Amino acid sequence: MPFSDYRSALVTGASTGIGAVLVQRLAERGLEVHAVARDRERLTALSRATGCVPHAVDLTSTEALTRLVDGLEIDVLVNNAGVSRTGTILTADEFAVDEQIAVNLRAVLHLVRLIMPGMVARDLGHIVNISSIAGVYNFGGNTIYHATKSAVHTLSRQLRVDGYGKRVRITEICPGRVETEIFGRVLGDPAQAQREFFDGYESLKPEDIASAIEFAIASPRHMNVGHIEILPTFQVPGGLNFERRTD
């Protein structure tokens, strides 16, 4: 739809990376943008730069999410926040499981539960979920992250069924490697993450993902961009491994 059809947006994970760039883009499009993240200082700086409404909120608290949206009429919801941890299910601890489910999936479900009924009632709205190629392809990595992003992938398709007959559009953005801080947080060392994941690679930038989201939101009223898979040109999501055993 034309951006002029919308008045407001809510973006999670807004203090840095994709979220921060998108907040700026949506504000420039004339929307009142509610920027949600845990880092109050960064949100304050983002508010000064963009005019967004900052909300320092812990997404793992359902009570906090309920208070956040109380009284708000949100036209565009972008579920961008995400966390990851190293290791597979063989090495994962309780915190790794609970945190990733809480941020990557439970918060998404609750925000959609709280906001989408208003969109349906107004016959107007757009929900954008940021998943990952980890949600649709199997490769070595964090099993819990794969599982939560796979759930977001399925949820995104299901929401179109739930909103059938209403002008509420659902878009899943499915990126490959994007140069954001999540890799530094996973390793606990941003410099190491820069060397290991980005130096010498043509990675995606947050601006690339924000541009794809802008395209989906600005598409004509009769057009729902359901799934956009975006990878660096030199990254592929597949590969067939076959362990040779003779015992």
Residues with catalytic roles: 145
pLDDT digits (tens, 9 = 90+) for 140-195: 878 999 999 999 999 999 999 999 999 999 999 999 989 887 776 776 777 877 88
Residue 150 has φ and ψ, to the nearest 5°, of -65, -40
In a domain, 239, yes or no: no
What confidence score (pLDDT) does residue 1 get? 59
CA angle 220, 224, 226 (to 5 degrees): 145
Q: Report the number of distinct structural domains present in the chain.
A: 1
User: 146 lies in a domain?
Assistant: yes
Place of tokens 């063989």: 90
Assign 3-state DSSP to the chain and report helix, strand, coil percentages, each to 5.
45, 15, 40
Domain hosting 223: range is 3-180+202-230
Asked if the structure places residue 33 within a domain, the reply is: yes
Residue 141 located in a structural domain: yes
Residue 206's Cα: distance from chain center in Å?
11
In a domain, 236, yes or no: no
Average pLDDT for the chain: 93
Q: Are strands 125-130 and 32-37 parallel, antiparallel or unpaired?
A: unpaired
| 247 in a structural domain | no
86 vs 67: CA distance, rounded Å: 32
Within a domain: 87? yes
> What is the rounded CA–CA span in Å between residue 136 and residue 123?
30
Domain assignment of residue 144, yes or no: yes
CATH value at residue 75: 3.40.50.720
